[in-house]
């Protein structure tokens, strides 16, 4: 089953997406998400200029061999651009294999380990009252797990607080540089969760994303302050370039810790996992080398009581979400899946078999990943340059966004 063609499709139905389409001599094609928020065209070039020409004529069934060929064969290893490009090819090959064999991808990964995939939604508000209302709307919609983010009094712009229904941090027109104060944040956040727990009772899973803003000892303080409110997890408490820094957080709190949405390989998290200093690993199909590499991370995590909690924001396309759901359904140590519904135009460009129902999701039983792309419609939404914000402290110092 030779690969006879491939293309990179860049479109912006509500936001930018990069998609790889690989075609085989049998007429079967596969899709892979290659979207790297704010750096989309770098991956498109990596794929179009350097990877696709190498795939022509290769056997599409040899997924692991092609993965190793692209990883070791580039000589220059890892990094978000490389690993996103490899991920897209990998997902497309799993899609092709599923279609060729007439089975959904999760069946190729060992079959379902559970009935459905638990997901969490994103609630946010400008005040605690608004955030309570937003969480209430998710509960009413059937969610069992909700991430809560709230504007911090005294700061004009807080990570994770939506403008309207859809939270979308990338901005098209200008480089956005909101100001940040960890002092104000740390003084405020425990009161949000005290209120949410009082309103919603003990059973609702509550999550929170710190988004890399704190030092390890500040994160330890926050985790400890949140302990009475039993969070499902505290996400990205500190930047993770230094994996050892999570030991300090761990020593100071029993609040579960999740990290990994920006990781691109197992080498970004093997110490975090082996030290058992985290509880959830958030690596995703699109940014961590595809389904093949994500399974290796999940297997290492399984040895160390670490469960999966894949990133699933709207900048990960429906192709990635589908791939994530196939992995989630199959790995034994699944924890939870992040879920932000895409914009209506995105869903029209990417018709899909997956569905949300009663707080859980199902990948569906369509052979392959179960997602298609309407290329004609996609062409009506051309790429628009967009960037993520850059955070600065109140004195102007660049900080982690
Ligand atoms: O900031 O996907 O948990 N979700 C997140 C997201 C990320 C964006 C970055 O592209 O942290 O909102
Ligand atoms: Co996050």
User: What pLDDT score does 174 carry?
Assistant: 62
Mean pLDDT over 289-300 rounds to: 98
SS3 285: coil
Q: How far is the CA of 167 from the centre of ligand 2 (A)?
A: 12
CA 395 to chain centre: 31
Mean pLDDT over 199-216 rounds to: 98
User: What pLDDT score does 163 carry?
Assistant: 66
- Ligand 1 pocket test target in 234, 313, 337 with most atoms within 8 Å of CB: 313
* Band of residue 175 on the pLDDT scale cut at 50, 70, 90: confident
User: What pLDDT score does 177 carry?
Assistant: 87
SS3 173: coil
Mean pLDDT over 386-400 rounds to: 94
Index of the ligand 1 atom closest to the CA of residue 316:
2
Index of the ligand 1 atom closest to the CA of residue 160:
12
- Ligand 1 pocket test target in 119, 211, 257 with most atoms within 8 Å of CB: 211
Asked if residues 208 and 255 have their Cβ atoms less than 8 Å apart, the reply is no
Spatial distance between the Cα atoms of 246 and 262, rounded to a whole number of angstroms: 16
For residue 199, which of 142, 159, 148 has the smallest C-alpha distance?
148
For residue 257, which of 241, 272, 242, 274 has the smallest C-alpha distance?
272
Q: What is the pLDDT of residues 20-56, one digit of tens each?
A: 999 999 999 999 999 999 999 999 999 999 999 999 9
Above 90 in pLDDT, residue 157?
no
Strand runs labelled E in 138-271: 145-150, 179-180, 205-209, 233-235, 257-259
Ligand 1 binding pocket, CB closer than 6 Å: 37, 169, 209, 211, 261, 311, 313, 315, 338, 388
Give me 112's structure tokens: 């379902």
- Enzyme catalytic residues: 159, 211
Task: Please list, in sequence order, all residues whose beta carbon lies within 8 angstroms of the beta carbon of residue 187, skipping any fewer than 6 positions away.
Answer: none
Name the helix (H) or strand (E) containing 98: helix 80-101
Asked if residues 252 and 221 have their Cβ atoms less than 8 Å apart, the reply is yes
Spatial distance between the Cα atoms of 282 and 254, rounded to a whole number of angstroms: 19
Q: Measuring from atom 4 of ligand 1, which residue has the nearest CA?
A: 313
Q: What is the pLDDT of residues 231-275, one digit of tens each?
A: 999 999 999 999 999 999 999 999 999 999 999 999 999 999 999
What is the tally of helices (H) and strands (E) in the chain?
14, 15
Q: Are strands 17-24 and 3-11 parallel, antiparallel or unpaired?
A: antiparallel
Length of the chain: 401
Above 90 in pLDDT, residue 169?
no
Signed CA dihedral, 45, 50, 51, 54: sign only: positive
Alpha-helix residue ranges (DSSP H) falling in 275-370 = 290-303, 318-330, 344-349
Q: How far is the CA of 235 from the centre of ligand 2 (A)?
A: 6
Structural domains in the chain, CATH included, are 3-104 (3.30.390.10), 108-366 (3.20.20.120)
Instruction: Please tell me what DSSP assigns to residue 171.
Output: B
First-to-last alpha carbon distance for the chain, in angstroms, is 44
Q: Measuring from atom 9 of ligand 1, which residue has the nearest CA?
A: 37
């Amino acid at each position: 089953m030779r690969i006879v063609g491939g293309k990179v499709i860049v479109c912006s139905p509500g936001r930018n997406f990069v998609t790889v389409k690989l075609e085989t001599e049998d007429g079967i094609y596969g899709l892979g998400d290659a979207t790297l928020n704010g750096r989309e065209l770098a991956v498109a070039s990596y794929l179009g200029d350097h990877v696709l020409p190498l795939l022509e004529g290769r056997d599409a069934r040899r997924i692991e061999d092609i993965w190793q060929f692209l990883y070791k064969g580039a000589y220059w290893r890892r990094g978000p651009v490389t690993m996103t490009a490899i991920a897209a090819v990998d997902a497309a090959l799993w899609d092709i294999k599923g279609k060729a064999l007439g089975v959904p991808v999760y069946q190729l990964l060992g079959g379902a380990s559970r009935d459905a995939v638990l997901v969490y939604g994103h609630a946010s508000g400008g005040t605690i009252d608004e955030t309570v209302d937003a969480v209430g709307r998710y509960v009413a919609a059937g969610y069992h797990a909700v991430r809560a983010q709230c504007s911090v009094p005294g700061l004009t712009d807080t990570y994770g607080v939506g403008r309207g229904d859809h939270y979308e941090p990338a901005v098209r027109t200008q480089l956005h540089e909101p100001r940040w104060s960890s002092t104000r944040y740390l003084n405020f956040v425990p009161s949000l969760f005290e209120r949410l727990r009082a309103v919603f009772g003990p059973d609702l899973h509550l999550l929170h994303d710190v988004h890399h803003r704190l030092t390890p000892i500040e994160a330890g303080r926050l985790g400890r302050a949140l302990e009475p409110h039993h969070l499902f997890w505290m996400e990205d408490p500190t930047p993770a370039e230094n994996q050892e820094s999570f030991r300090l957080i761990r020593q100071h709190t029993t609040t579960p810790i999740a990290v990994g949405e920006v990781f691109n390989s197992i080498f970004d998290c093997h110490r975090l996992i082996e030290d058992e200093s985290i509880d959830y690993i958030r690596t995703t199909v699109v940014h961590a080398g595809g389904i093949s590499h994500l399974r290796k991370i999940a297997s290492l995590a399984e040895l160390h009581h670490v469960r999966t909690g894949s990133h699933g924001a709207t900048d990960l396309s429906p192709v990635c979400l589908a791939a994530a759901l196939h992995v989630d359904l199959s790995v034994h140590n699944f924890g939870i899946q992040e879920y932000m519904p895409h914009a209506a135009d995105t869903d029209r460009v990417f018709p899909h078999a997956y569905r949300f129902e009663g707080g859980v999701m199902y990948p569906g039983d369509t052979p392959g990943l179960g997602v298609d792309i309407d290329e004609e419609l996609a062409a009506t939404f051309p790429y628009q340059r967009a960037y993520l914000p850059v955070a600065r402290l109140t004195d102007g110092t660049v900080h982690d966004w």
